[in-house]
Structure 1
Amino acid sequence: MHPPNKEVEEFLESIELLLEGSPEGQDAALRTLLHKLERFVDIGDAEPAEVATKLLGTAVGGQKEWQTPFRESGILSFALSRLSVSDHTDPLAKQCLRVIGNSVADNDSNRELAIKDLQHIIACLTSEELRTTALAVLFNLGNDFDPAKAAAAGLRLDNTISSYLALDKIPEAALDYAMELLTWTTGSLTSVQLKDALSLETFTNLLEMALRYDPDHYDEYVAILVHYLQDPEFQPKVATPKLLDDLVSLMLDFEARLTPTENEAVLEGLSISKTDETATSDETSVLLLTQLISSISAISATDTFAQVFTVTSQVVEKVRAKLRAPADSPSTVCACVMLGNLAMSDEVCMDMVNIMEFHITLISILASSTKPALLYAAAGFMRHLTFPEANRTVLVNTGLLRTCCHLLNLSDPSVRGEAAAMLCKLVTNNFHNIEKVVFEKDEDATILTRIVEQAIAPSAALPSTAMKNPMIELGRTLVAMLRYLGRPNAEKDVDAVRQELLKVPSVARPVARLLRQRFYADARSEGLLGLGLMAQSPEGAAHVIEEIKDDGGLLDAIKEFAEGKDGGVEQQGSAAGRDYQNAIVLLQALQNNAGGEMDMTLKNQVVGLQAELGKLLV
């Protein structure tokens, strides 16, 4: 039986009167009010209960001083409990949400109470009528309150919201709340949650939303996507034809929306080697596109990508288009990286040169671009194309040697390292290319002279030890040439080429530096071999002796390395005998071919070292 209208009127008037006063000292009055409110609810008199709860929600929304009394009197608990039992079509539910939302705003004590019923608040999202209010409540609950964010992540609020977004069921008035909640919740996911099936579903929904392009929330969608993509274990999950195609479409769309100045900043951000002059931009759009391109590039380096995609895949064809009309654009960097990661077999690399002719475009980029990020990506792709021996002559005949010389003149150490590594591959087992290096000129000097000059020139430090070191790779280039020219029964012009090589001043210095450095053990072995090969003729021995005279520690380095110290025999296992024999060969060749180049003191040192090493022979 419903109370008479007079009782209802008096009840509502008493609430209004109470709420117009000061919140202080009103605990008893609020408890009395709550008992009457609960009575109306119990007897099913919905209208006065709804009006009363609305008055409470409005009061605490306008005057935060009511927040603590509402908690202590039980009003907040009442509102929370009603969400667990109310039908979401019940008008009282919306007013309870208002009481909760206004009570928890900037009040951590009230939030601690409310998060116990977080699942009931989230359940209100199923109601179209309650969705906007529920999102506002969730926003107030999580704003600057990490426990609520973590709890929301545990209940996968991100997946719930992304599903409603994809279905276009978030009211426009609530979009800002939804995006903030998505950002918070995603950032609070555990490493396990980030890689589960719900995360992949959420990612797919958000990628779809980003492609629809909402100018007010575009950057937020991309930021959340990038958060997922920066997890190396999540990356293989999106290496599917549909998702990767959509990601590339998003990248191209994002790039097209940036200004030329912003795209320049993205290219700077993608640069591997950053200097003080190339400060990273703090513009959100620039940072996001930089991260998106880096993430897509990383995906293309996964095993899953290699298993799923080929050069003829739709998404690969989409990035290939960037190389048909190459420009200094961020997406061209991504195209080079992705295609380079597909260039992992001789067959594919040969097709890329002989059929697709990627090398022509790459040489154009390498010869004309001034952007380190693009140069590094294009050079890395081109280096993969040098792996098949069948490609090497074609690449040199297209002008790659001169292009590499151009790159060696640049300041970026990562680009110089890639150029040096390409040169090493190009001359390996290829007499035609060795001849070109020795005799062909780059402006006023031969390419070989340029290689020697650049090998001993100062170089900036590499950002990563995993990158190609220009000094090491150029030294290896000379060793590869000496190794081929030292073969028996080789081409008839070998002697002439070797003699011309040995005319270059300081040609032994890069090889000696391979042996002297202590970081790359394999390179030390190659340096020892190279010096031994060079010393097989009087002209070559003279170069080696010149280095020994200039570097008083070179003989000691040979001794230590051959004895197994400083990265030598003991550290290399099966290479022990090889290094020892190469040291003996070098010392014997110096004695045989030195002529008058060695004075008696140096000769005694060489003979003494050979005798000392001979004692190690068992």
Structure 2
Amino acid sequence: MTPQDIEALLQQHGSGQSQYEHDEASEPAGAPEQRTALLSPVLSACRDAWSSRSDELDVMAQKLGDGSRDVAWRLPFGESGILEFFLGVLAEDGLSQGLQVQSLRLVGNSCADTDKNRALVVQDNRLASVTRHLQNESLLPFTIPVLYNILVDFEPAQLLASQSRLSSKLVALLSSPSLSKYDAFVPYVCKILALLISQEGEASVADPSTVSILLNLATNSPAKEDLDDVISLVGVAVAYLANEGIQSMLITENHMGLFMEAFYLAHAGFEVNQIEDTDTATQLKQLRASLLAILADLSANDVFCSYYPLSSPVPPSFLAWIQGAHPLLQSAACLALGNLSRSDEASIALVERDAVHVHLIKLLSNSAVGDPQLLHSALSFLKNLAIPIQNKKRLGGLLEPSCVPRIYSLDTLPQVQFAAISLTRLLLVNCPPNVRRVCTPLSADLSSPNLERTTVTNIVGLFDRSDAEPTRLEASRSIAALCRVLHSTALSDVLPDWYEANFVSDSPADEPLPSVHGQQANYEQTDDEKRRSFFYKKHDLSKALGFLITQQKWPTLRSEAWFVFALMSRSWDGAAVIITVFQVHGTLDVLMEAITGRRESEIPPGANNQIAGAPGATQADQAVTSMAAGLRLEPQQVDPKQQANMAKVDRENALVLCTELLRNWEGELPPLRLSLLQDLVKEGTELVVAERSQA
């Protein structure tokens, strides 16, 4: 057959339709098989031309290459042996340029959307017949699209290509000095690399310079001015960086600056709202999200701090991002620096030397800042900074009502609310100056309704309002941390404003504490007790504190509460607060369990009643209190590492609590409540004595 005969055959028996119009279902029965049979003499003619090394084969290949654009001929080309023949031709040396080009065209078109033909290429590793032509720059406009047609949507070909180290050949092309000659095909290269990295094992065989070459191309002209190029190059770099080994390589080979340059370009170099094509805009958003995930992984890597300490050039770039005005960069910087600040040394340096908190306070105090990701990242970063004790006071400005406390009201952002109240707790732990901030009235105006309202009021409000258990728990822990400071520090500096003479006369209806009668009415309070007592009158802390002991998920936090309660109960005003705590449903049950170990309550009916206005008719059993006093128990803080010892410490703290309640309020307790506490002290004392004798 002549080339002209081949052309006529392909036109006469083809579909005459484009690949978008062709519908295999509309073909007459047996049409593919008929076409396959018609190609038998064509294959014979090609073999004859090849064996004689006739130039006519070049023309035959051209006609077949043109015919392969017709979808109807693709499968017959494979089943007739035509495809396999030209794959064999491509494996040979000394081919003319024309024969190489037309053979590649035929292979590429035959494999487009045709898995059976792709399987023929994979069989016996015939893929190498195509990849060998990557060495010929003049053939790249054909070789690269052909490879893509073979690999796309066909995993066996992708796996073979990966195992054959195709990515290394492609990366070599990207680093070639003559890349500009075929830069139009760089997006295809990126698509192929993206297919390869999806295969298991690709990361281990990839060229170590893959990521740096891709990022270098993306961050330099002409690619950096073209959004599509940036998305292609950075996108495939990110795909490779999903591998932990490649992440470590980027860190240890000091390419973090290059990554940050690409990160900055993807965020600050283009505006999503100015991109007309919606698909491109979506791709950019996805790229940004992927970059952020990689940044999180990189900065959290154990070796990151060793290669990029705060004194290196990388962290100052993050600090500059925070000081900027780009929310996505600010959020990313908070995330990265948050990972860097996992050590006390780094946290202290970021606050004392870099004053990063100053910029974060300004950011969080801006009511216009409502981006959930930025708020959450900033708060999470600050939580790390708030851990070292020497940082807490410096971070006190965060507790100004216009800063972190404003976030308590963002009920539509529960995760952000949680981060805010969690940060608040960390700032309050063992820090009297910060406790003073949250206890300071929101207004000094005697006529203002905010005169008796504080940030503590808002913390309690968040606890009452929230449905999220973690948020309620952090609010409760914040209150407990505050109470601990109030009962372990001189209060003239912590509660300077909480003196009754500084306020208008209060209404008894506002008092959450029990009424005072009998001997307690004549009790002479110290200055600290007066301040605390008046503060407690204006803040009902009972439900929040009660939640700490009734929740069952976190025993360590329940133990933390027993310690604080024992501490509070040693003063008259603190004991009064604890009495209101035990009016909360379920609290007496857990008190009984903590002391006796019994899970089911045997509390007499009516023992949970509110404290009556009249004093109790029964006095505490002096023998019981004397026995408990003889144990010389003191409030003990539980070591979370000593789980086995937790129940013992809980019992002793709860016993201290009951003993102190009897000592401070024995004349004010209703008979049932008094009897219950006496019984618990008696049984608890006996258990402690028994434990000590066994020890």
Instruction: Please tell me the root mean square deviation across aligned C-alpha atoms, in Å.
Output: 3.3
Query: Does residue 432 of structure 1 match 2:465?
Result: no
1:503-552 Cα offsets, whole Å, 9 max, x none, are 3432233222111112222211112222222222232222222232232x
- CA 1:430–1:604 in 2, change beyond 3 Å: closer, same or farther? same
TM-superposed CA distance for 1:333, in Å, is 0.7
Cα distance, 1:330 vs structure 2: 0.4
1:438 and 1:448 in contact (8 A); partners too: yes
- 1:22 alignment partner, one of 13, 22, 43: 13
Once the two structures are TM-superposed, the CA of residue 241 in structure 1 deviates from its matched residue by: 6.8
**1:553-586: CA deviation from partner (whole Å, max 9, x where unpaired):** 11112233455688x9999313222111111111
Q: 1:459 to 1:160 in 2, by over 3 A?
A: farther
- Whether 1:554 aligns to 2:587 is yes
Residues 1:420 and 2:430 are matched in the alignment: no
Contact 1:512 1:531 in 2 (8 A): no
Task: Pick from 195, 218, 229 the counterpart of residue 210 of structure 1.
Answer: 218
Partners of 2:598 and 2:216 lie apart in 1 by 59
- Bigger shift: 286-295 or 570-579? 570-579
Whichever residue aligns with residue 515 of structure 1, its letter is I
Distance in 1 between residues matched to 2:531 and 2:62, nearest whole Å: 95
Worse-superposed segment, 489-498 or 52-61 = 489-498
In structure 2, give the amino acid aligned to 1:530. V
When the two structures are aligned, how many residues end up with a matched partner? 577
Task: Give the structure 1 partner of residue 574 of structure 2.
Answer: 540
CA shift for structure 1 position 433: 3.4
Deviates more, 1:50-59 or 1:570-579: 570-579
Name the CA distance, whole Å, in 2 between partners of 1:565 and 1:259: 64
- Amino acid across the alignment from 2:543: R
How far apart are 1:236 and its partner, in Å?
3.4
Does the alignment pair 1:72 with 2:79? yes
Aligned mates of 2:431, 2:39 — CA distance in 1:
93
Counterpart CA distance in 1 for 2:573 and 2:38 is 107
Deviations 1:252-311 (A, max 9, x none): 222223337589xxxxxxxxxxxxxxxxx9822223213312321332122121221122
1-structure distance, mates of 2:345, 2:534: 35
2:127 aligned counterpart, secondary structure? helix
Residue matched to 1:361: 359
Equivalent position of 1:340 in the other structure: 338
The answer to whether structure 1 residue 581 and structure 2 residue 652 are counterparts is yes
TM-aligned CA deviation for residue 173 of structure 1? 4.8
Q: Report if aligned partners of 1:323, 1:361 keep a CA contact under 8 Å in 2.
A: yes
Distance in 1 between residues matched to 2:77 and 2:110, nearest whole Å: 8
Structure 1 position 230, deviation (Å): 4.2
Tell me how far 1:197 sits from its aligned partner. 5.7
8 Å CA contact 1:455–1:510 kept in 2: the answer is no
Once the two structures are TM-superposed, the CA of residue 434 in structure 1 deviates from its matched residue by 3.3
2:393 aligns with 393
User: Structure 2 vs 1, CA of residues 345 and 113 (structure 1 numbering), >3 Å: closer, same or farther?
Assistant: closer
Correspondence for 2:554: 520
Q: Please say if residues 311 and 339 of structure 1, whose CA atoms lie closer than 8 Å, have aligned partners that are also in contact.
A: no
Match for 1:391: what amino acid?
Answer: N
Distance 2:64 2:440 in 1: 92
Q: Which moved more, 1:231-240 or 1:302-311?
A: 231-240
Aligned to 1:473: 474
Find the residue that maps to 1:444 and give its secondary structure: helix
Distance, in Å, in 2 between the alignment partners of 1:485 and 1:347 is: 29
Once the two structures are superposed, residues 451-499 of structure 1 have per-residue CA deviations (whole angstroms, 9 ceiling, x without a partner) of 552453222538xxxxxx4433333333334434444999997556544
The structure 2 residue matched to 1:331, chosen from 326, 329, 332, is 329
- The corresponding residue for 1:298 is 297
Q: Give secondary structure in 1 for the equivalent of 2:540.
A: coil
- 2: CA distance, partners of 1:452 / 1:133: 67
1:445–1:367 Cα change, 3 Å: farther
The range that moved more, 340-349 or 495-504, is: 495-504
Q: 1:236 aligns with which of 240, 243, 248?
A: 248
Give the whole-Å Cα distance in 2 for the aligned partners of 1:69 and 1:53.
Answer: 16
- Counterpart for residue 266 of structure 1: none
Question: How far did 1:135 drift?
Answer: 1.8
Q: Are residue 450 (structure 1) and residue 457 (structure 2) matched?
A: yes
Give the direction of change, closer, same or farther, for the CA distance of 1:441–1:144 in structure 2 (3 Å limit): same
Q: State the TM-score, normalizing by the size of structure 2.
A: 0.75
Q: Is residue 131 of structure 2 the alignment partner of residue 127 of structure 1?
A: no
Of the three residues 585, 602, 616, the one matched with 2:673 is 602
Alpha-carbon separation, structure 2, partners of 1:497 and 1:386: 28
Note if 1:410 corresponds to 2:410. yes
**What whole-Å deviation, never above 9, does each CA across 1:316-365 have from its counterpart, x for those lacking one?**
222211233x4251001111222222223444333323332222111111
| Native 8 Å contact 2:111 2:149 kept in 1 | yes
In 2: Cα distance, 1:371 partner to 1:313 partner:
30
* Other-structure match for 2:564: 530
> Amino acid of the residue matched to residue 471 of structure 1?
R
User: Which of the residues 47, 54, 62 maps onto 1:38?
Assistant: 47
Which of 104-113 and 155-164 deviates more?
A: 155-164
Equivalence map 1:140-159=2 (5 Å): 140-159=149-168
* 1: CA distance, partners of 2:134 / 2:598: 70
CA shift for structure 1 position 113: 0.9
Q: Is the 8 Å Cα contact of residues 484 and 568 (structure 2) preserved in structure 1?
A: no
Q: Secondary structure at 1:519's aligned position in 2?
A: coil
SS in 2 for 1:239: helix
Q: Which moved more, 1:586-595 or 1:407-416?
A: 407-416
Question: Which amino acid is the alignment partner of residue 372 of structure 1?
Answer: P
* Structural mapping, 1:77-88, within 5 Å: 77-87=84-94
Q: CA deviation at 1:600?
A: 1.0
- Structure 1's 20 and 371: CA in aligned 2 closer, same or farther, altered over 3 A? closer
C-alpha distance 477-575 of structure 1, shift in aligned 2 (>3 A): same
Partners of 1:602 and 1:262 in 2: how far apart?
Answer: 70
1:28 deviates by: 6.2
Percent identical: 26
**Which residue in 2 is equivalent to 1:310?**
309
CA distance in structure 1 between the partners assigned to 2:389 and 2:641 by the alignment: 34
Counterpart of 1:222 in structure 2: which amino acid? V
Equivalent position SS for 1:502: helix
Alignment of 1:222-301 (within 5 A): 222-231=234-243, 234-240=246-252, 242-259=254-271, 261=273, 283-301=282-300
Q: In structure 2, what is the Cα distance between the partners aligned to 1:433 and 1:68? A: 77
For 2:641 and 2:341, the matched residues in 1 are separated by 36
SS at match of 1:608: helix
Q: CA, structure 1 residues 86+28, in 2 after alignment: closer, same or farther (shift >3 Å)?
A: farther
What is the identity, as a one-letter code, of the residue corresponding to 1:22? H
Q: Verify: 1:510 aligned to 2:544, yes or no.
A: yes
Spell out, residue by residue over 1:40-72, the C-alpha distance to the aligned partner (whole angstroms, 9 max, x if none).
Answer: 323333x112122222222232x3333344333
Structure number, greater radius of gyration: 2
**In terms of mean alpha carbon deviation, does 154-163 or 443-452 score higher?**
443-452
Residues 15 and 508 (structure 1), Cα distance of their counterparts in 2 relative to 1, 3 Å cut: closer
| Cα distance in structure 2, aligned partners of 1:421 and 1:388 | 15
Any unmatched runs of 5+ in structure 2?
15-30, 444-449, 494-526, 600-637, 691-695
144-153 vs 114-123, which deviates more? 144-153
1:155 and 1:226 map into 2 onto residues whose CA distance is 22
Secondary structure (helix, strand or coil) at the match of 1:550 reads coil
